[in-house]
Structure 1
Amino acid sequence: MTELRSNRGPLRVAVLGCGSVGSQVVRLLDESAVDLAARIGVPIELAGVAVRRLDAPREVEVPDGLLTTDALELVSRPDVDLVIETIGGIEPARSLILTALESGKSVVSANKALIAEDGATLFEAAEKAGRDFYFEAAVAAAIPILRPLRESLAGDRVTRVMGIVNGTTNFILDKMDTLGSGFAETLEEAQELGYAEADPTADVEGFDAAAKIAILASIAFHTRVTAADVHREGITEVTSSDVRSAAEIGSVVKLLGIAELVSTGSHDKDAVSVRVHPAMIPRSHPLASVRGPFNAVFVECDAADQLMFYGRGAGGAPTASAVLGDLVTVARHLLSGTTGAGESAYAAREVLPMGQTRTKYHVAIDVDDRAGVLAAVANAFADHDVSIQTVRQEGRGDDAQLVVVSHSATDAQLSATVEQLRGMEIVREVTSVMRVEGGDDE
């Protein structure tokens, strides 16, 4: 491990990647140089920027001589003190971060996918090297959420983290709610406005949100949670009818990332439930008012009670803001010869399978409009110990629609109920099944 160069001179920073985030980091390093020096105690100097192509168009102009295609050489250089990784993905990001740490550099990353897949390897490498690995920008961009969970709430017991952590899906669902638009046309609008990628799979299928909630769960519950542990459902199956049904019960549909402690009968053996899926939440809930591409994370604790963190959860400049916040902290640690909080996984709680997770459900069923149907449907719910909270029936000639809202039940109980309903002669179709979150009966 290399020693930190004399702290009487500037700290030199290498940036990996110069896309939407990396370019804004480079810009802010230049524009905020005086303020950063005052906050840290020494100047910050850009040592190099690693890119795939030297001739690619960029949002900012990088000073002559700083661009390089040899990222490995850059992170290994003895004159580099800190590395900022903004290239994303698994490789070569993982290898470059590990090399940087092994070479004695502290690292700031915005890489949610890598941290959610293999964060343990990175944390162990940072601990072994005696250096920092910080990643506030990996979840919800400019919204400060990881540091409050790791530091401000370190003396409290967090019981639930529920958030809107993907701006693309929130924009789509918000438009479907306010304008009555369909999914396909709203996705097209999101792409035209730059809120969705040409290939929106990571967003609309919930992969992006799953990585973020895995990171949040790991920190909140001191347990290693990976993206593979997260039950994931996207919003491609959400229809205008689902959105209207939510409105009829005073709710709105959101794609939620949810991580919560689940009692197993022993306080020190609580398990963790982690999931991403669309859900109806009451319009009175703070998350229901989060509009457009904005993000918000709602945290529940024993002592602090309820907290919400809100803001722009994506974009080059907001994400770069979080990166530079970490940079200031890590630079101060380097100058003082200390490190910040590393991984906390002492609790090692079990991650529950989705079948054991409890919530309420909204189920829409097309049935024959004749006597005894309601009783038969109610019996199907009772057969699997799913208690009904409300039932609404709408007649439409020879058929009718029943809308059932259940009390809290496990996913396995509800799935068995729906399977039984679909096999009943009187049921023409189970048209919609959606979870209901954020109410009193959780």
Structure 2
Amino acid sequence: MGFLDKLSNAVNSATEKAKGVVDNAKASMEQKKAEKEALEAEMQQKTEEKKNEIINTILSNENNGSLFDGIDKDTLLNFTKNFYDKLLLPAKSVALSKIYMHPYIDGKDLEKVIAAVDNYDDSETPILLIKAENKQLIFITDKSLYFVLCLPENTKYMVKGKVSNDEISQIDFELGEEKSFVKCDGYTFAEFKTTKVITEDFISLTDYFTRLRNKAFDITDAEVDALIKEKIGSKIVSELKKYMVYDDEQFVYFAWGLDSLAAKDYIVCTNKQIIVLDREGFGATSNVHQFYYEDITSASTEQNSNSESLTGYLIDTAVTAATKTCDLYFSVAGAKNKIKTLYKVEAERIVAVYHEYRKAAKDAAAQPQVVVQQATEDPLAQLEKLNKLKEAGIISDEEFNAKKADLLSKI
């Protein structure tokens, strides 16, 4: 065999080997693709089975009415907003909490939720959004409960479903050491990793749904005051009491600041004033600013400077991210005071509190003063008393006659 023949054979052999390698790689890729498609099909089947299990179990459970049974939509929306403003938001980290309530569910966030859930009905009104790890969520509207949950066998796959509120009479939030659970009429349909945030959020959610079940819609100033004191602790309460001079002064709102490195800054609203405490030099020095409502001529945020329009703040808040930072301005005696350490939803809550108590102060000042006249004793009865004093020798005849003449002139 000549050199050229040997060279040709070598080339052919190399070509065959290369072809074999390519064929093997192709076969391997096709096998992996087939395995991936098989796994995908298996997981999709499992997600469908899990979705049906959750929905069918909830539907089969005996319930005693709907989730918002006997509560009209306006009452539900008003209570939800009040609960968030007065009980959930004060002294709570907006950036950490995973609870979002009407009307503060961000527009962009809502778009993502709608894209994630199954068969969303855009005629519904969002009430409550709960987020958890691995992009899990529970989304409750005025008509339905939506869920997006991890498949237990593979958390990369999501179980998505929807149940009418009419099929649920009670939802509960149960805390555990490692896992915490969400239950519909006793059935556990979701479980999340127990964290400090989940613990605080579940306590708030339990309070919210308990109040709804009991139709306890009124949130008193005393309740708000007690809750804020519990959240911020006795040390800060004692510090703030130094600047609260009225016996009936109560906490109505509290927000932690954002800028502190070594110590917490904060701003507090009472029913009399707004107190701002900021620290310098890593907490070594603190500055306290007090603004009484009757002294504040205007309050606004940087995004919406129309301080006369409270409606503007609430609408603006509903369509912007709760975790966006915002500057807050107070005008007092012609001077503009700027506060930079707040989230937007917190700043706008303070503006709303200002408007409420500023209006109350104006209304109280405008009330007509009632002059109370003390009742005068009948002149004849007084004359009889004077006569007894004269007979007892306590007053002279001259004094008696002078008083008698004065009293007779009034008859």
What TM-score do you get using the length of structure 1 for normalisation? 0.21
Q: As a proportion of its length, which structure holds more helix?
A: 2
State the structure with more CA Rg.
2
Structure with the larger RCO, 1 or 2 (CA within 8 Å, 6+ apart): 1
What TM-score do you get using the length of structure 2 for normalisation? 0.22
